[in-house]
């Protein structure tokens, strides 16, 4: 494909870009539409203390499947992987819409997460394949526009469905989007790949799943279903820690490891992975808890709480659309430090206003957080992608997306444990003071995560876009 091809939606690569925008839209809308409906879901299905699992299992399934999809993408190609992901996401969405209790809904969220584990990283990997790093400075504006639209549409739909029809439509709305996205990718994206034999590291995937699951189980149920120092809690933490240690040893001996821990020895890959881990936790601290915080403390309608979350996801694409200009001139490290610093200030602001619930003040500080994330997420990922050839790009993207999903999964577990324990120690989920106290504690924890992310940015190797060796697109389109 000629490098002189245009960058717009009407260009040679435009149809592929449009298909990826549709696929990204699936994940973008899902990121905000459920959070605003949580109170409605709990009202119908009950089990308020279990609602963090709706996010944890989705993110856990996404996290553990990303490395497998990334390995497959580097061997059989990106197209079949992303199509399978869209199919699983569609199936999970349909099943979630028919969930009859909290347990079934949580189980069906796993299927959704398995689909998201393919869609999100493959979209970013394909963009990395067909555009140079300089071109991505422009193209990421198109991807960012998807998040901008979803930031308004997601919370609005979640609020409308919860308030006027049923929360089940927050899942069924994914059906037409999934079908159109799958058709567009099938029709317009063509890649030339030479298939070769590959070995899937099922043992590594199973051990990783066991480790993350037991740790999340211990965090969410400790002080809730059982005491923190009970045998159940201690056993869960011990099994989780042992499994993660075993995972490292298994991966070192695997012929094709599901998560190549060796690449984390590279300073750039390690720091961008840590940054992605923090980004995942920060996102979760806002999108999962702000709607419940506002709706339970102020009794606002879902549309209002959704608008507060939308402020963050609106600030994100606004910054991301301009981030390319900054890293092309000043380098990736400068851009990431600028963004993570802004996000940290916003997170501190969220913790500061927490004791005084107000949709307007929450919207302002979450907008600042999102604006900072927009300067951080894409540049750190592009820096990592740009440092490796095609044969490693899927794995590197997978590691980055795995870190974000794992950060979100563990983050929602930690935040959920904080909230559940403080609510249990207080007057319950319907008491104003208890909800405010618990939510503020969660926001403080999110601010700590933001500060640690900023510190990770300081360890990122300096250099501009010309520092890495691989700077040209090497995927071909028919």
| The Cα angle at residue 119 between residues 161 and 10, in degrees rounded to 5 | 90
What single string gives the DSSP state of each residue in 211-259? Answer: HHHHHHHHHHHBTTTB-TTSHHHHHHHHHHHHHHHHHHHHHHH-SS-SS
Give per-residue pLDDT as tens, 282-311. 887 787 788 888 888 888 877 787 778 778
Those residues whose C-beta lies under 8 Å from the C-beta of residue 247, and which sit 6 or more positions away, are 204, 207, 208, 211, 259
Element holding 122 (H helix, E strand): helix 102-130
Those residues whose C-beta lies under 8 Å from the C-beta of residue 175, and which sit 6 or more positions away, are 90, 93, 94
**Whether pLDDT at 471 is above 50:** no
The total of structural domains in the chain comes to 2
Are 244 and 270 in a shared domain? no
**Whether pLDDT at 343 is above 90:** yes
Are 155 and 224 in a shared domain? no
Helices (H), 262-331: 267-287, 290-298, 302-330
Are 160 and 227 in a shared domain? no
Give per-residue pLDDT as tens, 96-137. 999 989 889 999 999 998 998 888 778 878 887 888 777 876
**Whether pLDDT at 277 is above 80:** yes
Are 310 and 437 in a shared domain? yes
Are 42 and 181 in a shared domain? yes
* Six token digits for residue 298: 């102020």
Backbone angles phi and psi of 131, in degrees to 5? -130, 145
Are 363 and 289 in a shared domain? yes
- Residue 75 placed within a domain: yes
**Whether pLDDT at 321 is above 90:** no
Q: Is the distance from CB of 102 to CB of 43 less than 8 angstroms?
A: no
Are 237 and 283 in a shared domain? no
* Residue 260: strand, helix, or coil: coil
- Residue 7 placed within a domain: no
**Model pLDDT, residue 152:** 64
Are 379 and 428 in a shared domain? yes
Classify residue 426 by its DSSP letter.
T
- Residue 475 placed within a domain: no
Those residues whose C-beta lies under 8 Å from the C-beta of residue 198, and which sit 6 or more positions away, are 71, 72, 75, 76, 256
- Determine the structural domain holding residue 314 and report its residue range: 14-201+255-458
Are 62 and 169 in a shared domain? yes
Those residues whose C-beta lies under 8 Å from the C-beta of residue 143, and which sit 6 or more positions away, are 20, 21, 24, 123, 127, 320, 378
Q: Is the distance from CB of 415 to CB of 442 less than 8 angstroms?
A: yes
* CATH number of the domain that residue 69 is part of: 1.20.1250.20
- Tell me what percent of the residues of the chain surpass a pLDDT of 70: 90
- Residue 473 placed within a domain: no
- Residue 477 placed within a domain: no
Q: Can you tell me the mean pLDDT for 446-467?
A: 82
Those residues whose C-beta lies under 8 Å from the C-beta of residue 12, and which sit 6 or more positions away, are 1, 2, 5, 6, 477
- Residue 102 placed within a domain: yes
Backbone angles phi and psi of 222, in degrees to 5? -65, 130
Give per-residue pLDDT as tens, 63-77. 778 777 877 787 788
- Residue 174 placed within a domain: yes
> Model's pTM, two decimal places?
0.74
Give per-residue pLDDT as tens, 132-188. 777 876 776 677 677 667 766 777 787 788 777 888 988 998 899 899 989 989 988
**Model pLDDT, residue 407:** 85
Give per-residue pLDDT as tens, 226-247. 777 888 889 989 999 999 999 8
Are 341 and 213 in a shared domain? no
Are 63 and 210 in a shared domain? no
**Whether pLDDT at 470 is above 50:** no
- Residue 86 placed within a domain: yes
Are 301 and 424 in a shared domain? yes
């Amino acid at each position: 494909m000629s490098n002189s091809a245009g960058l717009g939606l009407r260009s040679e690569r435009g149809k592929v870009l449009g298909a990826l925008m549709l696929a990204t839209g699936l994940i973008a809308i899902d990121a905000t539409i459920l959070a605003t409906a949580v109170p409605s879901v709990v009202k119908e299905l009950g089990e308020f203390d279990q609602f963090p699992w709706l996010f944890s299992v989705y993110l856990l399934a996404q996290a553990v499947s990303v490395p497998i999809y990334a390995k497959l993408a580097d061997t059989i190609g990106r197209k079949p992987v992303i199509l399978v992901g869209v199919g699983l996401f569609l199936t999970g969405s349909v099943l979630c819409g028919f969930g009859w209790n909290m347990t079934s809904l949580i189980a069906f969220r796993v299927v959704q997460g398995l689909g998201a584990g393919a869609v999100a990283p493959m979209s970013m990997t394909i963009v990395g394949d067909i555009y140079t790093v300089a071109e991505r400075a422009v193209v990421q504006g198109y991807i960012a526009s998807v998040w901008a639209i979803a930031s308004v549409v997601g919370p609005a739909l979640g609020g409308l469905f919860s308030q006027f029809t049923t929360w089940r439509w927050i899942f069924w709305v994914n059906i037409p989007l999934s079908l159109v996205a799958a058709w567009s990718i099938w029709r317009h994206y063509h890649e030339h790949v030479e298939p070769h034999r590959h070995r899937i590291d099922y043992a590594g995937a199973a051990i990783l799943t066991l480790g993350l699951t037991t740790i999340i189980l211990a965090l969410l149920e400790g002080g809730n279903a059982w005491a923190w120092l009970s045998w159940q809690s201690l056993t869960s933490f011990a099994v989780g820690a042992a499994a993660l240690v075993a995972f490292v040893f298994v991966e070192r001996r695997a012929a094709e490891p599901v998560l190549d821990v060796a690449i984390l020895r590279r300073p750039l890959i390690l720091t961008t992975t840590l940054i992605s881990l923090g980004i995942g936790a920060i996102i979760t601290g806002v999108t999962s808890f702000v709607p419940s915080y506002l709706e339970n403390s102020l009794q606002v309608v879902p549309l209002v709480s959704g608008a507060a979350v939308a402020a963050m996801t609106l600030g994100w694409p606004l910054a991301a659309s301009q981030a390319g200009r900054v890293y092309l001139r000043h380098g990736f490290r400068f851009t990431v430090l600028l963004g993570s610093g802004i996000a940290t200030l916003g997170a501190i602001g969220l913790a500061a206003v927490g004791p005084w619930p107000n949709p307007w003040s929450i919207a302002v500080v979450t907008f600042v957080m999102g604006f900072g994330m927009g300067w951080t997420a894409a540049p750190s990922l592009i820096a990592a992608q740009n440092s490796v050839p095609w044969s490693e790009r899927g794995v590197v993207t997978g590691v980055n997306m795995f870190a974000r999903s794992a950060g979100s999964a563990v983050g929602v577990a930690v935040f959920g444990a904080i909230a559940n324990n403080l609510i249990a120690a207080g007057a319950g989920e319907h008491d104003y003071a208890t909800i405010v106290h618990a939510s503020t504690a969660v926001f403080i924890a999110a601010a700590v995560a933001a500060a640690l992310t900023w510190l990770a940015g300081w360890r990122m190797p300096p250099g501009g876009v010309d520092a890495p060796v691989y700077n040209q697109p090497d995927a071909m389109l028919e």
